[in-house]
Amino acid sequence: MSETRPVRASENLDWQRLAAYLRENLGVGGEMEVEQFPGGHSNLTYLLRFPDSVILSRADGEGSVPISAELVLRRPPFGPVPPRAHDMARESRVLAAVHPHFPLAPKPLLLCEDLDVLGAVFYVMERRHGIVIRTKEPAAVAPLRAEISVSVVDTLADLHGIDVAAHGLETLGKPAGFVARQIKGWTERWHGAKTSDVPEMEWLASWLEQHTPSDPMRPTLVHGDYKLDNVMFDAANPRRLVGVFDWEMSAIGDPLVDVGILLCYWIHVASANDDAISTVTKQPGWFTREEILDRYSRRANARLERIALYEVFAVFKLAVVIQQIYARYVRGQTDDPRFATLGERVTALARIASDLAAKV
């Protein structure tokens, strides 16, 4: 199945201006073809193809850097966005810092902070090829569900095992009070984006504040949105990961935030039978919650007694993210028809999180 589609009419950019900018700053040649990666609901991601070029290069002061004839461009959605959200400059800088120590993070090639080019900050990175598992499971994946589960969990544990201090990654975040700031920040985003009252969300915000876990002994690099459809698998060997994407929310902090997010999508959202979100992991053979926790605990040498708190926060955070997107639709800032029913999903997620919290 093709990863890309023609660009939505409402999400076209000034392609001529972009092509000229890339020719000047990356040395690319030939005509530029553009398609869109349609899977995400937040930032806009485009494939830029230069069919007349096989290998391109640019000088960056350290010699010639190979650049693929296919590039990926990321920029924020159109219209007003919440403060500190969709920070493409930060995501590009995170990738530049992380890629040398975690090669599954794509290499960024060019950051543009000149708003005159495309009207927003954007960056261009290398393209990775492989399989992304979203709402449908490729036939080659079904016999390998358990082995792929192992790869996904092990990759997360290995990311958390990177020595932040040894590699100079401390500048990517402030670990002290990380989870408390996350809860406060996402609660504020909820109040800024809500379009109707959802009592469960108000209750969850209060519950999370009262149950905020203490800082971990060893802060780690946190991806911030680690889930099945943010990783890419080798098409020839789906057991092997070839990419981890969407680093916008990464930071230095509590690694169990990532574990909670993985469980949020893999277990709790998948069980909600929402066809718009990946539900493949409810099929037999994919790891259960207990198998994920056991594998991660052994690989990362981590204690997970309080993981339920992180699961509640992850589902709450997802509800806020979706509400932010839905608010843009309600306010007329996007006409993407996929967003019309997101309000119902927010309510469903709030109920899932409330049920989880009641069991803690």
For 34-53, write each residue's pLDDT tens digit.
999 986 667 899 999 987 65
In sequence order, what E strands does 53-103 have?
55-59, 64-68, 70-75
The answer to whether 138 and 236 have CB atoms below 8 angstroms apart is no
The per-residue pLDDT of the chain, averaged, comes to: 90
Structure tokens, 1: 């199945």
pLDDT at 61 over 50: no
Per the document, the length of the chain is 360
The pTM (predicted TM-score) of the whole model is: 0.90
For residue 265, the tally of other CB atoms under 10 A from its CB is 22
The answer to whether 118 and 18 have CB atoms below 8 angstroms apart is yes
Q: Describe the crossing of helices 256-263 and 145-160 by its angle, rounded to 10 degrees.
A: 160
pLDDT at 21 over 80: yes
pLDDT at 128 over 90: yes
117/33 Cα distance (integer angstroms): 18
The answer to whether 72 and 126 have CB atoms below 8 angstroms apart is yes
For residue 144, name the pLDDT band (cuts at 50, 70, 90): very high
Sorted by sequence, the CB contacts under 8 Å of residue 119 that are 6+ apart come out as 13, 14
Question: Which stretch of 43-57, 155-169, 229-243 has the lowest confidence by average pLDDT?
Answer: 43-57
* Domains (range + CATH), the chain: 9-126 (3.30.200.20), 142-358 (3.90.1200.10)
For residue 1, name the pLDDT band (cuts at 50, 70, 90): very low
Sorted by sequence, the CB contacts under 8 Å of residue 2 that are 6+ apart come out as none
pLDDT digits (tens, 9 = 90+) for 284-312: 999 999 999 999 999 999 999 999 999 99
pLDDT at 276 over 80: no
pLDDT at 339 over 50: yes
pLDDT at 172 over 50: yes
262/177 Cα distance (integer angstroms): 22
The answer to whether 192 and 323 have CB atoms below 8 angstroms apart is no
